[in-house]
Structure 1
């Protein structure tokens, strides 16, 4: 299983290298390198989830080979054993080289840290570097060595922070807002997978109270906390964290048999690598990484010597055993059948969603809405789907239905797109107060953006609220431009027209 994970990582690494060389396109218009993922972040996270496994298998290859090989004295297994030997030696080595070649190009600082820490730890544990080093050093030299290492780490972290300072500041701001969410929901959190449904409301509230601070320059629509530990506390509260730590402690604390210590080291270091990456990203939201975590935890639990074996002292009759087996088999078959049906329907829903997006891009809104309606039963709890659906309805002037869909979307996800579209829909049916609330909320979510205030100014102008229109128009003209664009120039020009029209232009 671990070799299979390494092979998958190697394939992704090679794929990424080929993208860099121009042989394959990436999956994101803004990045040349994404592997099989949608942007370089999750791609880098997957690679550093695999890397410690590859490095660990290579460093402990002798132990792995001895564990996997068949009876050495039996000549029938000679070729099989030879294959195992070369597979264990070269598959991880190829994985190590291919991942090291592509990781720098991802520009993912979290992955660099995870790879450095996990690799260093594996090397130290394998060759007992610290033990050998400290045995030959005086106290003074030990202090100097530790101090030097701490300084190097500190300078490195500072360099990593400044490498993409805007991105770093953005994460720090998200964590700052998230602490308010934790303060408001300390025990049970906001609910599992509910971070993206609540975060932008808290961000909007922050700017509504504090105004357009410097933090507004790094604020954006946010789906994740970019720190899995903070997000877990936000969603599940202190009680959820306690339960999670308890389960994790039990799994990791199980001591493995001495001959399996090397495997335990590989598994725990791999989890550590994912954990380091999780401090600055969202690996648990990425299915392939999530599967690796499950495999690692399952393997660790299997290594435990002190497993709990329920019913060990109970004797069960043959008839009861057969009955239990029948129930289990029946349950598994039933679950499998229903699962396949559900997956088939879900897959159909996603296909319809994609067709709807294609139709939307070609401005065929009627066809898009039909596809959205077909996908709705399967994707009615997907916030992003509902956002797209509501947007199409609003553009096609089905405003009342758009409002219904978008309000439902807000229970799963909230963004400036949802709020501005809600504002458009309310404005179209002349519910100006509700439109104003939606536009203001969108403007507070990301104060540096021009579009929500522009829509608000247009609302005031079209609804005859001239004074508010003038104030908003002047505010937009005085607004600092974060990234110059043609759209912003057009907005500014239109705001000048609003002021001129009301004969108050200076």
Structure 2
């Protein structure tokens, strides 16, 4: 195949890639999480096979980004081997995507821009339909989530897509390029802005604002430099005021959310102090954070922090997460990549400028969110990093024999990942079938373990089936394994219930207390502890907890809270102090 044809074919496949982020496949387990992984992963495998079979080249230009990509590929392989699952398998597909783009050596940006603009329009329409209640939201707390489970992910994906289009507009306005394309891209960007505002996702707003500012200043850098020299004093005085005002506005929009992030980072710093060099390893943050939060809140947390604390397994800051999991080496690698991104010399064109802008947007969003848990963002970042590597000066050029070996490796890797993907999807559908069968053989779940060990859904269903069948001894073992991977207050409450049924009251009390320490505002754990004390004849402790539960302020007064308070009043009728009962009744009327 001629080189021009192979480049055009690869460009068309890359244009199809963003549309996978719009798809919602309701038949999948956790479809808001897995739909984009399945669709985009399938396109990635086609890209890998296409690059291996139809792209002809007699050399490979090795550049510094290839070294970064190689290290990330090794980490992705380690993640899959330790915690196999759909997201880790999708992460393992990213090196194939990177290698395919690097093998072709060049893409036509027009195709990628069109695919990105179409995807942005589709995502925007999805949000408008949800806002006007023509499509259901995938969250009971937020009206607009797109095809995802919460608006933060939706807004982050849209911000990344807009950061692909905005740099092209900056270049187009300066160079007066294709008016029809420019008008279409402007329409797509403007259509997405109101939806982005409806999400109230401040991290995405900040990231997109940085990308727009970077695009503007870079496109008009000489004009901006002369303007700065002329009004330096006024700019230096006004800039801090503008930044502080913007930060204050973002904080006031959701102060509890901002304070919650500060609490997470404060606890994470204590984790870093404990293992600063080696970190906690792969999946170390979600597997350990809740224990450290419980320890901090019990020892020195304020009343506001205990009210604020929630059940989370996300750091909401990628440098913090990397430092917690991979220690000093991980954060140095991250900082080295950021430094290279900001300073490397490359030939200026629309591809290199767009790639740098997208990566900068992802890094800024990663200061307040979790881009490496959002598969579409990981895919877009991989694409632009590979495009950027194609623009870099090579460190070494490998010729014909290496290129053939590289093509064979790419073909075998794509085929192997395709087989793993097919097996994983079969395991997913089998897991769903077992979850619908109350009398299913629990031991059959063990056959799925090699492919699904790292999936939270798998761990949950491994506990759900023994619970339905009243196999409490087996359930206790499965809960221990589930808690080891993903500890949560709900899992400890579940564990306490099992110990209570087995008449292991000390273990039940410890489990309920641990759940309460993790999230003090969670009333379910203390409610169960109250009834446990009542059954054991420890009335004084039971009454103290009952009075506390009936009078304290709760985050969300829902049906569960109402049912718990009715049960407490019925159980301890006549024993509670009248003043506490009056306070509880007054609070409920509010």
1:122 to partner: Cα distance? 1.0
**Equivalent residue, structure 2, for 1:51:** 162
Q: How many angstroms apart in 1 are the aligned matches of 2:454 and 2:272?
A: 24
Residues 401 and 150 (structure 1), Cα distance of their counterparts in 2 relative to 1, 3 Å cut: same
Q: Give the TM-score, by structure 1 length.
A: 0.83
Q: How many angstroms apart in 1 are the aligned matches of 2:309 and 2:272?
A: 19
Q: How many angstroms apart in 1 are the aligned matches of 2:128 and 2:350?
A: 31
Q: Does the CA contact (< 8 Å) of 1:33 and 1:105 recur in 2?
A: yes
Match of 1:134 among 192, 203, 228: 228
Q: Secondary structure of the equivalent of 2:269? A: helix
Q: Secondary structure of the equivalent of 1:430? A: coil
Q: How many angstroms apart in 1 are the aligned matches of 2:318 and 2:180?
A: 35
**Equivalent residue, structure 2, for 1:101:** 194
**Equivalent residue, structure 1, for 2:425:** 347
Q: How many angstroms apart in 1 are the aligned matches of 2:315 and 2:498?
A: 30
Residues 251 and 448 (structure 1), Cα distance of their counterparts in 2 relative to 1, 3 Å cut: closer
Q: Does the CA contact (< 8 Å) of 2:310 and 2:519 recur in 1?
A: yes
**Equivalent residue, structure 2, for 1:380:** 453
Q: What does the per-residue CA deviation read over 1:162-188, in whole Å, with 9 as the maximum and x for residues that have no partner?
A: 111111111111111111111111112
**Equivalent residue, structure 1, for 2:489:** 416
Q: Does the CA contact (< 8 Å) of 1:382 and 1:412 recur in 2?
A: no
- Identify unmatched segments of 5+ residues in structure 1: 67-84
**Equivalent residue, structure 2, for 1:298:** 386
Q: How many angstroms apart in 2 are the aligned matches of 1:19 and 1:255?
A: 44
**1:145 maps to 2:235:** yes
Q: How many angstroms apart in 2 are the aligned matches of 1:462 and 1:237?
A: 47
Q: Give the TM-score, by structure 2 length.
A: 0.72
**Equivalent residue, structure 1, for 2:377:** 289
Match of 1:117 among 203, 210, 214: 210
Q: Does the CA contact (< 8 Å) of 1:9 and 1:46 recur in 2?
A: no
Q: Does the CA contact (< 8 Å) of 2:139 and 2:149 recur in 1?
A: yes
Tell me whether 206-215 or 471-480 shows the greater mean CA deviation: 471-480
1:301 to partner: Cα distance? 1.6
Q: Secondary structure of the equivalent of 1:457? A: helix
**1:272 maps to 2:360:** yes
Residues 476 and 395 (structure 1), Cα distance of their counterparts in 2 relative to 1, 3 Å cut: farther
Q: Does the CA contact (< 8 Å) of 1:58 and 1:88 recur in 2?
A: no
Match of 2:282 among 175, 187, 192: 192
**1:308 maps to 2:402:** no
Tell me whether 365-374 or 441-450 shows the greater mean CA deviation: 365-374
- Identify unmatched segments of 5+ residues in structure 2: 1-13, 15-111, 579-590
Q: Does the CA contact (< 8 Å) of 2:319 and 2:334 recur in 1?
A: no
Residues 493 and 22 (structure 1), Cα distance of their counterparts in 2 relative to 1, 3 Å cut: closer
Residues 164 and 14 (structure 1), Cα distance of their counterparts in 2 relative to 1, 3 Å cut: same
1:393 to partner: Cα distance? 2.6
**Equivalent residue, structure 1, for 2:118:** 7
Match of 1:238 among 315, 328, 338: 328
Q: What does the per-residue CA deviation read over 1:377-419, in whole Å, with 9 as the maximum and x for residues that have no partner?
A: 5322323431343144324422112111111112221111111
Residues 197 and 426 (structure 1), Cα distance of their counterparts in 2 relative to 1, 3 Å cut: same
Q: Does the CA contact (< 8 Å) of 1:473 and 1:498 recur in 2?
A: no
Q: How many angstroms apart in 1 are the aligned matches of 2:258 and 2:377?
A: 23
Q: Does the CA contact (< 8 Å) of 2:168 and 2:350 recur in 1?
A: no
Q: Does the CA contact (< 8 Å) of 1:379 and 1:385 recur in 2?
A: yes
Q: How many angstroms apart in 2 are the aligned matches of 1:327 and 1:237?
A: 35
**1:405 maps to 2:473:** no
Q: How many angstroms apart in 2 are the aligned matches of 1:163 and 1:91?
A: 32
Q: Does the CA contact (< 8 Å) of 1:208 and 1:444 recur in 2?
A: yes
Residues 22 and 291 (structure 1), Cα distance of their counterparts in 2 relative to 1, 3 Å cut: same
